Structure 1
Amino acid sequence: MLREAKRRQTRLDLITAALRLVDERGADRVTVDEIAATAGVSARTFFNYFATKEDALVGDPLEGCTDLRAQLLDRPADQPLLDALLDALAPVFQQIHDDRDRWLLRMRVIHQNPQLLPLLIAAAATAEQQFADAVAERAGLPADDPYPQVVAAVTSCAVRVAVMRWAGDDGQERPLTEHAHEAFGILAAGLAHPQPRTA
């Protein structure tokens, strides 16, 4: 347990070092040796965790978070799906909230270095497929059924919108969970047209 915690901390230290250096200089002006030195480890140790500098920058944003598949399958079978999805994602929202500074830094780095986007998109696609598989298993549907794939896709979009709105809330007045419930509420309403807001 202690060894695993140490490994996780080293990984987070490398991610943080990479993000901070690239935020200051740009991805093309930072080397693996500099990232490792900033994190207080050797370059060899760096490669025990990441294959490339870009992998460290994108990282696994939900590293160490509770298994989403297990969380979803653990929800009561008669619970409405969107409620089950929100409950399954609750540890994710908490981790993002607790790790706000690193999340904002990662988002800024990726925005400033668009060459990282393909890696981010690939990671998101993998996570979305795993989520679709869990939805299919919960619903007793074959893996190639469109229902779980659509559910996973709209869930990913709702989470992305919630995180972006939360990240843009400079006053930090609303927790991420509120933004998530708002986005999922729009899905639950069947994308019904909202009432115009009055000034």
Structure 2
Amino acid sequence: MSTTAEPGLRERKKAATRQALHESAVRLAIDHGLDRITVEAIADDAGVSRRTFSNYFGSKEEALMYGDFQRVQRLLDAVRARPAGEPPWAALTAVAADFNRELGGLDPQRVAQGRLVRTHPTLLAAQTQTFAAVERELAAEVAKRLTEPDPLGVHARMTAATFLVALRVSVNMWLDAPPGTALWDLAEEALATAGRGLG
């Protein structure tokens, strides 16, 4: 029996467990409220032990916000895949447009989660931590595309931060907008406005 496939299988099982815990956290938090659920309840719902939960997440907030982490990581990977000579802001806005098309219409669960985050300081803190981590990585990708000197990294960091703020603001506006409002309409305008500020 070959052992070469074992690490791949192990990683797939770990990813499936992590995803199951995340989905349980989201479902229970939406159904019952974040304050009324426990780590034990999430673990039970996902069919794993409390100890297993702790191997994947440090808190129920972290488990619930794992979807945001996945999305920003995919976004970062997409930026890395853009043509090397493409200017930073053009690469970022192209990735945002592609990402929006990939997501399509946001499902009701994602909408409910977005609204849930805004009502809980602990979730907002977890979201801020996620975005802060990706901001540093995104700034490194921006720096590779800059044609002007940026010895202190200020331009790269400001560009990355501005991009993420534009996305966050557009999502928050979309959550408050009338039904039928397209998220990308808001995001496109937010990114265009932010881009003019950087220019």
TM-score by length of 2: 0.75
User: For 1:56, which of 56, 59, 63 is the aligned residue?
Assistant: 63
Change (3 A) 1:66 1:118: closer
Match of 2:169 in 1: 161
For 1:9 and 1:93, locate their aligned partners in 2 and report how far apart those are by CA, in whole Å.
25
Could you list the per-position Cα deviations for residues 113-160 of structure 1 after superposition, in whole angstroms to 9, with x for gaps in the alignment?
Answer: 223322221211111111111111222655732100110111111111
Opposite residue 33 of structure 1, the aligned amino acid is: E
Structure 2: which 5+ residue stretches go unaligned? 1-7
Q: How does 1:5-154 map to 2 (within 5 A)?
A: 6-63=13-70, 67-90=74-97, 92-94=99-101, 96-97=103-104, 100-139=107-146, 144-154=152-162
Structure 1: which 5+ residue stretches go unaligned? 193-199
Instruction: Give percent identity, aligned residues only.
Output: 32
Match of 1:195 in 2: none
Change (3 A) 1:33 1:127: same
Deviation at 1:42, TM superposition (A): 2.8
TM-score by length of 1: 0.75
2:65·2:126 contact (CA, 8 Å) conserved in 1? Answer: yes
1:32·1:53 contact (CA, 8 Å) conserved in 2? Answer: yes
User: For this pair of structures, how many residues does the alignment match?
Assistant: 191
Change (3 A) 1:122 1:162: same
Deviation at 1:14, TM superposition (A): 1.7
